[in-house]
Structure 1
Amino acid sequence: MTYCVGLLLNAGMVLLADTRTNAGVDNIATYQKMFTFEEPGERVIVIMTAGSLSVSQNVIARLQEDIADPDVAPENCIMGTKSMLTVAQIIGDKLADVSHDINQRMARMSQAASASMLVAGQRKGGVARMFHIYPEGNFIEAAADTPYLQIGEHKYGKPLLDRVITPETSLEDGRKAVLLSMDSTLRSNLSVGMPLDLAIVRDGECKIASQERIEADDPAFRAMSEAWSKALRDSFSAI
């Protein structure tokens, strides 16, 4: 399993994904679940994935092939479309097609595979948008009332986001919020694990402003986790 979270703020977007995948307690590995596509100043797209790797990796590979193929019409490629809505539609169609193909093969063994994705981005002249794409290819969009989206093991990190995130939240506070949301998930679910991939996109820049991988021994993340635990214990005692 996994946990991915994205914030859609007035100042930009903050995106965070873990990298753990497991097929049982004795088969745990690290796989990238955040993928970035950009033409700096013109377009930036970040895709985060949860669920079956066989599905999500196939979708990402097909998107990359379309970008590299000169015979693919611009309107059918995520780096050539005129809107983020069309980007979401292209990815949704790819996800639905791949899920259908793989599940047809797995049906003989009474098995199934599915994946979901978070897609965030902005093109020059347009507004930043963020979508949660379901395995069937349909999607919902983040809005002012709910300026964040989650996929995977979302329940442990959701209460904090509900309490503190608004469109006016700064990118710095947004970064802190997603990391603490992830920390809550790491403590409660063994299927989510380090390292973490974090990306920040400032509104209007149409490029990745910063991107980093946070390892398990990162001192800043550990200090934040310990400070949050202490703050919760102190608040609990004070009530």
Structure 2
Amino acid sequence: MTYCIGYWLEKGLVFASDSRTNAGVDYISSYSKMYVFQPASDRVFVLLAAGNLATTQAVVHVIQRDLDRAIETGKSDANISGAGDLRSCHYLFEAAAYIGEVSVAVQQKHRAALEQAGTSADASFILGGQIGSEPHGLYMIYPQGNAVMATSQTPYLQIGETKYGKPPLDNVGNTNLSLEDAARLCLISEVLTQRSNLTVGPPFELAIVPRNEHTLSQHVTLEADAPELATVIDTWRSAQREALHRLPAFAWEHAEASR
């Protein structure tokens, strides 16, 4: 299992992911779930992955292969999505459709053998970025290959172990946050999920893509012993305790106090 977040903001995009891969209680390892593609100066893509590790790695390899072939030959082979690689896409939804097609093809190739062994081939992705003067955007790509887009009403997307990290995103998040505050919010969401589920864990990766800059302004990896992680959870815990003490008293407490 893993946990990845993509956050759409007026000022750009924020991405966060853990790096834990669990193949049983006796085999836990770390793999990056965040991939960055900058195939041309007018575009940038960040891809987050969850699900079967072999599937997600194969999808990334095919994406890179298609880019390499397009660069070598100077042309792309258009598919159903209207794009043969990330360099030939004119719109972000075309890139999401292309990755969905690649993912479905990889899953179908190995599904029968994996299901016979009792393993799922499914993988899901979050794709965010910007192409040229088109608006920046964020998509979640399902195992079936279709995708949904983040909106101002639903600005963040999650894949993997999603339930534990939702409360801070729902209660504090909004699209007018600064990119740095959104990165802090995504990080606390990752840390809280780690504390509740052992299949999620560091190193944590954070990436920021400012609107209209077509590049990453920040891409950092926080190891388990990073002082920022301890500070984040201590600060959040203290704030929660303070909020608890500020909650209104029950009616019976007022009655007991007046006796």
Alpha-carbon displacement from aligned partner over 1:157-197 (angstroms, at most 9, x marks no partner): 11111112221111121011101111110110000000011
Counterpart of 1:5 in structure 2 is 5
Match of 1:92 among 100, 118, 127: 100
Match of 1:220 among 228, 253, 257: 228
> Which aligned pairs between 1:171-182 and structure 2 lie closer than 5 A?
171-182=179-190
Report the RMSD for the aligned CA atoms in angstroms.
Answer: 1.3
| Larger Rg over CA atoms | 2
Label 1:108 to 1:39 Cα distance change in 2 as closer, same or farther (>3 A): closer
Counterpart of 2:46 in structure 1 is 46
Q: Is the 8 A contact 2:39 2:86 kept in 1?
A: no
Whole-Å separation in 1 of the counterparts to 2:87 and 2:167? 35
Q: Is the 8 A contact 1:37 1:44 kept in 2?
A: yes
Instruction: Identify which range, 132-141 or 64-73, moves more after superposition.
Output: 64-73
Q: Secondary structure at the match of 2:26?
A: coil
Deviation at 1:225, TM superposition (A): 1.1
Whole-Å separation in 2 of the counterparts to 1:231 and 1:23? 36
Alpha-carbon displacement from aligned partner over 1:64-113 (angstroms, at most 9, x marks no partner): 00000134517300122111111001000001111111102224335432
Counterpart of 2:21 in structure 1 is 21
**Are positions 1:232 and 2:240 aligned together?**
yes
Whole-Å separation in 1 of the counterparts to 2:40 and 2:179? 19
Q: Is the 8 A contact 2:202 2:222 kept in 1?
A: yes
Whole-Å separation in 1 of the counterparts to 2:200 and 2:42? 34
Instruction: Identify which range, 69-78 or 122-131, moves more after superposition.
Output: 69-78
Whole-Å separation in 2 of the counterparts to 1:48 and 1:9? 17
TM-score using structure 2 length: 0.89
**Are positions 1:73 and 2:76 aligned together?**
yes
Whole-Å separation in 2 of the counterparts to 1:110 and 1:224? 39
Deviation at 1:23, TM superposition (A): 0.9
Percent of paired sites with the same residue = 37
Whole-Å separation in 2 of the counterparts to 1:187 and 1:208? 29
Deviation at 1:41, TM superposition (A): 4.2
Structure 1: 4+ residue segments shifted above 6 A: none
Q: Is the 8 A contact 1:40 1:207 kept in 2?
A: no
Label 1:215 to 1:40 Cα distance change in 2 as closer, same or farther (>3 A): farther
Equivalences, count: 239
Q: Is the 8 A contact 2:36 2:47 kept in 1?
A: yes
Alpha-carbon displacement from aligned partner over 1:106-140 (angstroms, at most 9, x marks no partner): 24335432110000010111111110001110111
Q: Secondary structure at the match of 1:125?
A: coil
